[in-house]
Amino acid sequence: MDHSKKVADRYLKREVLGEGTYGVVYKAIDTHTGQTVAIKKIRLGKRKEGVNFTALREIKLLKELKDPNIVELIDAFPHKGNLHLVFEFMETDLEAVIRDRNIFLSPGDTKSYLQMTLKGLAYCHKKWVLHRDMKPNNLLIGSNGQLKLADFGLARMFGSPDRRFTHQVFARWYRAPELLFGAKQYGPGVDVWAAGCIFAELLLRRPFLQGTSDIDQLGKIFSAFGIPTAPQWPDMVYLPDYVEYQYVLAPPLRSLFPMATDDALDLLSKMFTYDPKTRISVHQALEHRYFSSAPLPSDPDKLPRPAPKRESRVSDFNSQEGPTILSPPRKSRRVMPGRDGFEGNSLQADKVDASFGDFRQTTDDNTGKNESAPMSVDFSIFGLKPPNRPTINSADRSYLKRKLDLEFQ
Amino acid sequence: MAGLMPGELSHHGTSDGNSGKSSIEKQEESLGRWYMSRKEIEEHSPSRKDGIDLKKETYLRKSYCTFLQDLGMRLKVPQVTIATAIIFCHRFFLRQSHAKNDRRTIATVCMFLAGKVEETPRPLKDVILVSYEIIHKKDPAAAQRIKQKEVYEQQKELILLGERVVLATLGFDLNVQHPYKPLVEAIKKFNVAKNALAQVAWNFVNDGLRTSLCLQFKPHHIAAGAIFLAAKFLKVKLPSDGEKVWWQEFDVTPRQLEEVSNQMLELYEQNRLPPAQGSEVEGSAGGTRAASKAPTANEDQASKQISSQAPQHSSAERTVVPQRGTENQSNDGSAEMGSDITDHNLDIRESQNSEQLTQQDNKREVSNRSKSGTERDQDRMVGTKEGAEVGRRDESALNNPGSNVVRNLERREGPLGHSPNEAIKIDKDKLKALAALGKKRKEQRGEMALKKDVMDEDDLIERELEDGIELAVEDEKNKRERRQNWSKPDGENHHGENHEETRDGRHLSMKGQFQKDMDEDNAEEGEMIDDASSSLNNRKRRMGSPPGRQPEMKKRLDSSYHNDLAE
């Protein structure tokens, strides 16, 4: 292993940036080039099935994907029983930008972030790769303001006939309805739905559909967009985990995004189309008039940066902790999903008020605090803060792990 | 054997200065490091420094390829996974010596790794057990020994450590493209014997995996060569749209097509005498005999070309075959001549003398060729060398100099026309080959019906023998066909330009077709299965396993997983 030692010595280790599912990510200096890099260390140790499946997948796909909006895998080497992946260093991520109340995002800024997200995604889909874990903290931002997709551990080739995939992908808040109904055959539409959630999050400055379980996630989707009708989504009744929900009329989209322009609302509605077959593609989305109408997307190097505090500088590739939502509890106005009539109107009013509340908070000098809250608690009842941003939870993860290890196509 | 040493030493002394490739993109650089010329592969292999000669290394390569094919079929992985494992293994031994790495351990690691990379993972336990069974298949106690925890854990550690070594050696280049996809895409466009053509070409691709072709040529070049050979084998004429030749859609040059086809055919030439089972020494001896035939075959063909009369040519062909058989059977390899000494026997002696000269001194061989060859032979040899250069330059994407050389070649090859006599020869040979193939096919069907077990190494070698005998007949026709190709110099540049224009369109349509034709793909695969031989039929069935089987396989794997949990 003399070779691997030489390779390892090339990288001068610095501080830890974060810890993910499969190992630590730390900052380092490439002594050959002077370049700052991020090294993801993947534990091999006593692995039962050798080098981790997702690590191999990430390596394989990132070697194939070379694009300005996709993070670059510079090198890979084994050392001391671990596998090291060397990435270009990225200053921060989109999640930090969204939750930083000191940052004001202009309409052009929002447009720029979404455009770069979709450009990276378009390249993936052009190469027949689904990302399957689109969320703000997997969208890294470099020192030059460029946004890049990262973490391809759940990514997958698509396009082969009869390939069946697991439906246990995406962090729940970004999971498309067909996945929540257990679909095994799906396509790039699942990434588009997640990108739509990210778009909504950029507009709202908070996560959009914060379900606490799969059923709750579906409930929140249907509260926002109405129960899908047969003409809207003919195939939904055939999905494995389909369940019927009580009818809810869709509130006007503008009531959910009062600050958005007509073009933005139009693009959002197309990204949140229920039927994956008619959902807008990434390519079509990039051609939408939203990106060509004024104001144009901001130049990346002019985009605002998070405050240079130690906490917000952490760039975590596989964060399991989400931000704490700082909106105060409004117990009297919270309405359970699925109810209609007068209470529905109350829900709308609650949404509007929440949005204004968020706007006011942009003047506050608070930064995100990470406080854990039990996932199963309904915060609207007990007045607790809303739950942390979920990654794939433990049950999902073990199921996913089992699927990935044993699934054969 | 002692006589070979000076030649080998002189080979080692030769230095080939092909270093210093510069690429614009990292991706190109990454891909480029796994492609090199045949000369580099054969002369600068890491195994060479450890005293493993070319013949033994060739034997070892076939050995681990056969092993991987068997292992993959028993693990029930798709052919693409097997192909990926084989390429991983080829690339590994491009960088590491056989002397320091047991080929079957490395092959097992490559299969385990390919399973994960190609999204068809197999539990490590299964891989180890099946691999151990194959390696020790003649040891009755092995099946029980591997189930002892201590023995199993030892194997497991070996594989896990090997995985890291293989990954590092491969530079984590895990994306591997295969000829299958361009092959199927191309044959869809033909309107002749699609299924039979695809099946035979698929077979050529699989067999070609045992050579170093995939370290020299890109997948679409190999696909073109396979289609070319399949068409010859089936006597199918490939379509030409006006002046456009079918292979120009592959972005392949005639030289590349020729080189790929020749190397695929070499596989069958060399395998006429199967390597003996048992000790490594016997294996090496087998390799020696196989390699020694290649120059013999070349000399025979040269002598055939010298004789200008058709009747003698045909009779010479007939008499040479039994003579070769006799030569193969004798232990010391010396030929025993019949009492009847004819001109043809004299030809055989001459070829033997040439063979000895080859073993002693390459330079003499060159001069010998120049003496015995006619002017036409000289032109052909020159063309071949320049063709090789063109091929290399095409690989490095130096278009302008390449096209110039191609034009020169076209002019030189112009005078090589075909006389009416040669046309007659081709027709006669076709008729004979057709009769022979008819017999072979009947025999093969009968034999295939008898074989129901999963084929092991011996069976595969027997199949290669049969294929080799058939394809030896085809070999001569291929040479004539190549001459025909060379005699069409006009418009090649023009076609090349057209090809560049349509390249992007073809890629786009390819993607679109790929999605749209999902149902058609399934139907075609079904049809191919119907036409296939029983063995390939099994393989196909496994590749496209019906829905009913998947739950069964899942259950088995799930139970395996539960067993792991129990542990």
- Measured distance CA(B86)–CA(B177) in Å, rounded: 12
The two beta strands, A147-149 and A139-141, are antiparallel
Predicted confidence band of residue A3 (pLDDT cuts 50, 70, 90): low
Res B307: pLDDT: 26
Of residues A286 and B196, more confidently modeled: A286
Is A355 a domain residue?
A: no
What is the percent of chain A with per-residue pLDDT over 90, rounded to a whole number? 49
Alpha helices in B309-342 (DSSP H): 310-329
CATH (domain of A56): 3.30.200.20
Domain B35-168 matches domain B177-269 at the CATH topology level: yes
> Which of A257, A281, A302 is the last residue before a domain boundary?
A302
The answer on A222 and A81 residing in a single domain is no
Model pLDDT for residues B281-291, shown as the tens digit of each residue: 222 222 323 33
Are A203 and A54 in a shared domain?
no
Residue B192: what pLDDT? 67
| Highest mean predicted confidence (pLDDT) among A40-44, A174-178, B393-397 | A174-178
> pLDDT at position B249, please?
73
Structural domain contains residue A399:
no
For the ranges A164-168, B246-250, B327-331, which has the lowest average pLDDT? B327-331
- CA-to-CA distance for B271 and B63, rounded, in angstroms? 12
**Mean predicted confidence (pLDDT) in B406-427:** 29
Same domain, residue pair A105 and A204: yes
Considering the domain boundaries, does residue A312 fall inside one? no
Residue positions counted in chain B: 567
State whether the Cα torsion B125-B130-B131-B132 is positive or negative: positive
- Judged against a pLDDT cut of 90, whether residue A283 lies above it is answered with yes
Q: Both A80 and A141 in a single domain? A: no
Q: pLDDT digit string (tens) for B18-47?
A: 222 222 334 455 566 788 888 888 888 888
Contact between chains at B116 and A47 (C-beta distance less than 8 A): no
pLDDT for B370 equals 29
Mean pLDDT is highest, among A220-224, B347-351, B476-480, for A220-224
Question: B-chain residues within 8 Å CB-CB of A77?
Answer: 168
Token couple for B233: 């084998």
HEC string for B100-144: HCCHHHHHHHHHHHHHHHCCCCCCHHHHHHHHHHHHCCCCCCHHH
Decide if pLDDT at B478 tops 60: no
Measure A19 CA to nearest chain B CA, in Å: 23
Indicate whether A349 pLDDT > 50. no
Give the Cα separation of B207 and B201 in Å (integer): 10
Per residue in B480-490, pLDDT (tens digit) is 433 333 333 33
Mean pLDDT calculated for residue range A7-32: 83
pLDDT tier at A224, thresholds 50, 70, 90: very high
Residue B187 has pLDDT above 70, yes or no: yes
Classify B422 as helix, strand or coil: helix
- Please indicate, yes or no, if residue A163 is contained in any of the structural domains: yes
> Confidence band (pLDDT; 50, 70, 90) for A400?
low
DSSP string covering B147-170, please? TSHHHHHHHHHHHHHHHHHHHHHT
Are B189 and B197 a contacting pair, CB within 8 Å? no
Other Cβ atoms less than 10 A from the Cβ of B491: the count is 14
Q: Is residue A103 part of a domain?
A: yes
What is the radius of gyration, based on Cα positions, of chain B?
25
Provide the domain count of chain A.
2
In tens, the pLDDT along B350-399 reads 333 333 333 333 333 233 332 333 332 333 322 333 333 323 323 332 22
CA angle A141, A142, A148 (to 5 degrees): 50
Reply yes or no on whether the pLDDT at A319 is more than 60. no
Per-residue pLDDT for B92 more than 60? yes
Q: Are residues A106 and A144 in the same domain?
A: yes
CATH number for the domain whose boundaries are B177-269: 1.10.472.10
Residue B70 or B325, more confident: B70
Task: Convert the pLDDT of each residue in A237-256 to its tens digit.
Answer: 999 998 888 888 889 999 99
Lowest-pLDDT choice from A11-25, B228-242, B316-330: B316-330
**Most confident of the following: A317-331, B88-102, B368-382:** B88-102
Is the pLDDT at A10 greater than 70, yes or no?
Answer: yes
Q: Is the pLDDT of residue A73 over 60?
A: yes
Tell me the CA distances in angstroms from A321 to A207, A222, A378, B104, one per residue in order.
14, 26, 18, 45
Asked if residue A96 and residue A84 are part of one domain, the reply reads no
Q: What are phi and psi of A243, to 5 degrees?
A: -135, 150
Q: Return the amino acid letter for A139.
A: L
**Annotation marks residue A75 as catalytic:** no
Q: Where do the structural domains in chain B lie, given as residue ranges?
A: 35-168, 177-269
Of B117, B522, B557, the CB nearest to A408: B557
* Domain termination residue (choose one: A273, A302, A331): A302
- Check whether residue A22 and residue A36 sit in a common domain: yes
Q: Which of A93, A100, A133, A151 is catalytic?
A: A133
Higher pLDDT, B76 or B249: B76
Give residue A86's pLDDT: 92
SS3 call for A357: helix
SS3 for B69-112 is HHHHHHHCCCHHHHHHHHHHHHHHHHHCCHHHCCHHHHHHHHHH
**A51 has a chain B CB within 8 A of its CB:** yes
| Residue A386 maps to a domain | no
Q: What is the pLDDT of residue A161?
A: 57
What pLDDT, on the 0 to 100 scale, is given for residue B313?
27
Q: Check CB contact under 8 Å for B121 and A408.
A: yes
In the numeric block, the tokens 């930008």 are attached to: A97
**Could you tell me which residues are beta bridge partners of residue A40?**
A25, A85
Q: State phi, psi for A168 to the nearest 5 degrees.
A: -90, 65
| pLDDT score at B64 | 93
In a domain, A365, yes or no: no
Q: How far is CA B383 from CA A114, B395, B412, B485, in A?
A: 58, 18, 8, 13
Nearest CB neighbour to A56, from listed B116, B518, B561: B116
A133 with A72, same domain: the answer is no
Mean pLDDT calculated for residue range A201-206: 96
Last residue of a domain, one of A60, A88, A116: A88
Mean pLDDT, chain A, as a whole number? 77
The pLDDT of residue A258 is 93
Averaged over A12-31, what is the pLDDT? 83
The pLDDT assigned to A163 comes to 63
Q: Which of B251, B113, B96, B106 is nearest to B173 (CA)?
A: B113
Same domain, A99 and A228: yes
pLDDT of residue B29: 54
Which residue in B87, B119, B185 has the most chain A C-beta atoms within 10 A of its own C-beta, making it the best mutation to test that interface? B119
Least confident interval from A170-184, B138-152, B261-275: B261-275
Q: How far is CA B163 from CA B98, B130, B169, in A?
A: 16, 17, 10
Q: Is the dihedral of CA B443, B446, B451, B452 positive or negative?
A: positive
Same domain, A253 and A119: yes
- Set of chain B residues whose Cβ sits within 8 Å of the Cβ of A88: none
With beta carbons less than 8 A apart as the criterion, state whether B131 and B104 touch. Answer: yes
- The pLDDT of residue A160 is 67
A70, A62 Cβ separation under 8 angstroms: yes
Residue A172 counted as domain residue: yes
Total CB pairs under 8 A between chain A and B: 86
Domain, as residue range, for A134:
92-302
Residue A140: name the closest of A286, A367, A317, A15 by CA: A317
A363 is in an annotated binding site: no
Q: What CATH code is carried by the domain that includes residue A205? A: 1.10.510.10
Q: Is any Cβ of chain B less than 8 angstroms from the Cβ of A277?
A: no
Name every residue whose Cβ is closer than 8 Å to that of residue A52 and which is 6 or more positions away in sequence.
Answer: A22, A42, A44, A83
The mean predicted confidence, pLDDT, of chain B is 55
Nearest CA in chain B to A74: B26
> Are the C-beta atoms of B107 and B72 separated by less than 8 Å?
no
For residue A393, the model assigns a pLDDT of 47
Based on the fold, state whether residues A195 and A281 are members of the same structural domain: yes
**DSSP 3-state of A335:** coil
Sheet containing A24-30: order of strands: A11-19, A24-30, A36-43, A82-88, A73-79
Residues A35 and A132 in one domain: no
Write down the architecture of domain B35-168 according to CATH.
Orthogonal Bundle (1.10)
Residue B219 has pLDDT above 80, yes or no: yes
**Interface contact B557-A406, CB threshold 8 A:** yes
Q: Indicate which of B33, B174, B504, B516 best probes the interface with A, i.e. most A CBs within 10 Å of its own CB.
A: B174
Select from A42, A67, A406 the residue whose CB has the most chain B CBs within 10 Å, as the one to mutate to test that interface.
A406
Among partner residues B124, B172, B554, which is closest to A50 by beta-carbon distance? B124
pLDDT of B520 reads 31
Greatest Cα pair distance, chain A, in angstroms, is: 73
Residue A405 has pLDDT above 80, yes or no: no
Cα B470–Cα B471–Cα B477 angle in degrees, nearest 5: 115
CA gap A64, A124 in Å, rounded: 10
